[in-house]
Structure formats: C-alpha cells, structure tokens
Structure 1
C-alpha cells in the first residue's frame, strides 16, 4: 500500500525528544501510512519531495523547527500537495502563527485531519521562505551558535554566540529599491518578513495574524552604538519596538537589495546562507497549502 505522505524528522531540532518519544512518533506515523525519513545535512530534501510528487504524494510533514519547515517546503510551493508541521524546534514561529499545537501527537493529528489553508510565501533569489530573511547581526549570531554543534547545550551556545557577535558587531550597508522606496541603509539589524508581524506583542512571540495579505514587511534600525542597541532589544522584548528612535519599516510586494559585496550572509527562516547579490525579494501570494487546526 503506497504511503499517504512523508514525515521528515529532524532529531537534532531544538526540542530533544526522548528516544521513547521518537520511537512513538515513528510508530504513530507508520500507523498512519506515512514514510519517515531522518534528516541529515547531506540529504537532498527537495529532490526527495519532487520524487514523491511524481508519485502523486500529497502530504509532506516537517517534524522539526522553522529550518526544517524551510527545507521541506521548497518543493511543495506551487503544487497541490500540503505541508504539515510537527513543531519540535526551538521557537517554532511558523507553527505558532498557524495555531498548530506544540504537542507532537496533536500536531500529527492536525497534519492528517486538519483543514487546508492556502497562504503566501516569499522568495529571495531562487529560495522560498515562510518567515523572514535577515542581514547584519542575526546571520552572525546563528553561525556562531551552530559552531558549537547540536550536542552542545543550547543555552550555552546562545550565550557564546551573543558574546562573540556583540564583540564583532557586524553591520551591512545596502541599497534598497522597491516600488516607492529607494535608500542606502547602514544597519546592524535588517529584516524582511513574509507578511507583517504584530510588533505590539512581546519579543520573539510577536505573531503574524495574517499570512494572506500579499505584502513583504521591511524593518531596520539605523547604525547605532552597542548600548543603544541593548535598549532596542529591551524595548523589542517588551513589545515596544516602534517607540525606538530611528526604527523604520515599510511594506511592499517586491524589492531589490544591492551591496558592494558580491556575496553576503543572509539568515533565511533561521538558517544561514551565502547569497549572490543583488538580492531579489518578492512576495509569492497564495503559493503554499498548509494543514491547520479545524475551526470549531
């Protein structure tokens, strides 16, 4: 009997499931006629998805964090297949925005029996993303965190990364061009999101209540001393980012980001990539079908 779908399981994601829980997840997936594939850095996830799509597979489930979702959804965009999410990562922003339960059993049930919802994605050059792309401090922070490896305690890795990144204090200078905006920006914090965040909410919990508005949101803070940046972080964590002097944002459907460097580091859905400039960033409306909880 052909499998109903595929689960891509990232055992190195932020939440370390106990071996018994991992085996329970595998068994539940098999009982639901799902294939389970363990993720590794060498695995061609998009290629495997395309092969399954040719065999008419209609459900692809990312069991991991936002980075896992990012890799699985690349081949699912612009198809009639659905993306399910079992959020066992560190922050699980995408799952939270879709109100997907954080318990893996409940999330698996949503992936199997939930409603279909068609949402926007966005694209940077040839890579799709569901959350955001970032330049400046963030890619450096992620790269330094990952230097410690997946087996290193995550809180220690974050502490190390924060210390090293703030000592280096990287910034970017970019030329931003959109339909109505042209500006040279020098900044430590530059982010483009797929639809808009509710910046009145607290820090990393800031949600996107709408993933179908068909707009990119662009945020940045002008080049600033370290101490002032710490004040920015404090207001961000308190949900008062718009009160920060100099904080800027605008919305657009497409934009071009140019740099004097031929290649730049970019954080994309929590993963770090080295990309060729200029960066072409566009919204891709109604391009991904996801499984979400049924409305009571």
Structure 2
C-alpha cells in the first residue's frame, strides 16, 4: 500500500557524502508520487536507534526510511523493533549489502519508486546481546580492520579498494588470538582463533562464495571460525574470503544455529556490527528474532527477504 507520509532518517556522510543532493532528489521524487516527506538528519555519535524509535513513537502511521549505508540501515532497523511502522531503504553506502540482498536499486529515484509502491514483507532480525545486526557481526580481527579502515578512509576517501587495503594493513599487525567456547543450539566446542564472524544475510554469503544459505533460509545464522595461525596465515585466510575461494574446514569452521553463545576470558571486547564498531561485554549471546521488521521491498523480489 502506498505510504501517505514518510520520515527519512538521512546520513549525509554515507558513501560519496552526497547528502544534500540526495535530500533534494528524495524530496522531488516523493513529491512526484504525492507523498509528504519529513527529514531527520543526524551527526556522528548520535544514538541512531533512539532517533528511529522516537520517530516511530511520534508518528505511528508514518513509513520510516533509512538513507545511508549498512550501519545507518542497521541503526534504524534496531530502533523500529517493537513498532508496527513500515521501513523503507534508500541505499547510499559503500557496499550496501542489505539493500542489495533485497534487490533494491541504488539509484535514489528508483529506490523511492519502490517505497511508493509499498510492497511489505516481514524479515528475521539477528541480535548480539540484544543489539541488532542485519548482515554480520564479528569479534577479533575484523573489528581491528574497521579501526584501521577509518584512518585509510580519512586519507584516501571511501571506496571498496580502500576497504580491502585496510584488511591487509590490519592483519599484518594483528596480535594474540582469542580463546573461547562456542555453544550452538546447546552443543559446545572450544576454539583458539583470531576471528569469529557471524552472518545472517544469505546474499553476503553468496558474495563471498560461502555455503550456508539453507541455514539462513531456515531461520538461523552462520558462524565462521577462522583457524589459529600466524598473521600471514590469517592474511591468506582473509584473502580467500575476499576472493571467494575459501574452503570449509581449511580456511574456516562453520556452525549453523538460531542460538549461539560465545564465552571468553576477557569479557569486554570490540564488536563490529554491520561495519559499526563498539565495545561490548560478554558472554556474547547471538539470537534470531523471527518476523521482527516490516520491510518495503520490490514487488518482484523472489524468495524470502533474507
């Protein structure tokens, strides 16, 4: 059903940092469809989850739209849990994994057209210690990569090449591995690893040429555990993932489940969620929440949302 009113939560600094131009295009295209639009802009460091939940509480009949990258979309989705508002997406990030998993167009005008059509589907949402992630979450090497990436972005700008270079630079200086216990749907295993990486988006698995789509289709998530190795071995394993040639049991160990618990001796760790970094206290509990979000998707989207 066509939305009567939309509230756009806009990250002006996402992707190419074309926020003002994007805002103008969004306004004009919604005007073309006869839909009223309101904007909420936010600054780095603002609580995006709170912004989204406040917008939903103030306007229960409005469609709430995230315009930004995966981190922005994740924050808005987190704020809408527990609300009946429809959620739309206008992608504007570097990778746009979640938007691409929905076959959403990356051109602003075309994304607005999808929202105006108003095709709604419910989607499952993954959480780590009740914090939402739409694509992936990780502990260990990948959070270190994100810390390195920001410095590279500041110097060279945001691009996929810069993102890949940050992987090489961060892994070349990585130190001690994690010692942890993983419990998947009640079954425990012990690991010594530099990286654990949970994925709840089947599209990202396909992009990395990894198996596990059936797990996600059945309502679960995939947990990848890298083998314990030196930094150059880890660099090799990371490269196999990036190039889409990783082999199960050689470059990673894979688990599938709807309830995953991770325990380690050092309780507080940097945790990455959809490209955003924050410190969290363990033990880490990963869960799937079924049909938790009302998403606007293209009418011709085949299969499930995830």
Residue aligning to 1:221? 226
Find out whether 1:173 has 2:168 as its counterpart.
no
Give deviations 1:126-165, integer Å, cap 9, x for gaps: 2122111111111111122224565751258547733541
1:199-214 paired onto structure 2 within 5 Å: 199=205, 201-203=206-208, 213-214=218-219
Distance 1:204 1:147, change over 3 A: farther
**Alpha-carbon distance in structure 1 between the residues aligned to 2:10 and 2:213:** 25
1:1-296 paired onto structure 2 within 5 Å: 4-17=5-18, 19-29=20-30, 32-54=35-57, 55-147=59-151, 152-155=156-159, 158=163, 161-170=166-175, 171-194=177-200, 196=202, 199=205, 201-203=206-208, 213-242=218-247, 245-295=250-300
**Alpha-carbon distance in structure 2 between the residues aligned to 1:215 and 1:24:** 38
TM-score by length of 1: 0.87
**Alpha-carbon distance in structure 2 between the residues aligned to 1:38 and 1:67:** 15
Give the conservation status (yes or no) of the 8 Å contact 2:97–2:204: no
Which stretch shows the higher mean deviation, 237-246 or 181-190? Answer: 237-246
How much does 1:27 deviate? Answer: 3.8
How much does 1:23 deviate? Answer: 2.5
Give the conservation status (yes or no) of the 8 Å contact 1:264–1:274: yes
Give the conservation status (yes or no) of the 8 Å contact 1:195–1:213: no
Give the conservation status (yes or no) of the 8 Å contact 1:96–1:207: no
**Alpha-carbon distance in structure 1 between the residues aligned to 2:216 and 2:99:** 12
Which stretch shows the higher mean deviation, 94-103 or 204-213? Answer: 204-213
Give deviations 1:246-289, integer Å, cap 9, x for gaps: 52112111121111112011111110110011111111111111
**Alpha-carbon distance in structure 2 between the residues aligned to 1:209 and 1:258:** 26
User: 2:61 is paired with a residue of what secondary structure?
Assistant: coil
Give the conservation status (yes or no) of the 8 Å contact 1:7–1:29: no
User: 2:79 is paired with a residue of what secondary structure?
Assistant: coil
**Alpha-carbon distance in structure 2 between the residues aligned to 1:278 and 1:210:** 23
**Alpha-carbon distance in structure 2 between the residues aligned to 1:57 and 1:174:** 45
**Alpha-carbon distance in structure 2 between the residues aligned to 1:83 and 1:74:** 11
Give the conservation status (yes or no) of the 8 Å contact 1:212–1:286: no
**Alpha-carbon distance in structure 2 between the residues aligned to 1:180 and 1:135:** 21
**Alpha-carbon distance in structure 2 between the residues aligned to 1:154 and 1:190:** 25
**Alpha-carbon distance in structure 2 between the residues aligned to 1:32 and 1:148:** 40
Give the conservation status (yes or no) of the 8 Å contact 2:68–2:92: yes
How much does 1:198 deviate? Answer: 6.9
User: 1:56 is paired with a residue of what secondary structure?
Assistant: coil
How much does 1:195 deviate? Answer: 5.3
Which stretch shows the higher mean deviation, 235-244 or 169-178? Answer: 235-244
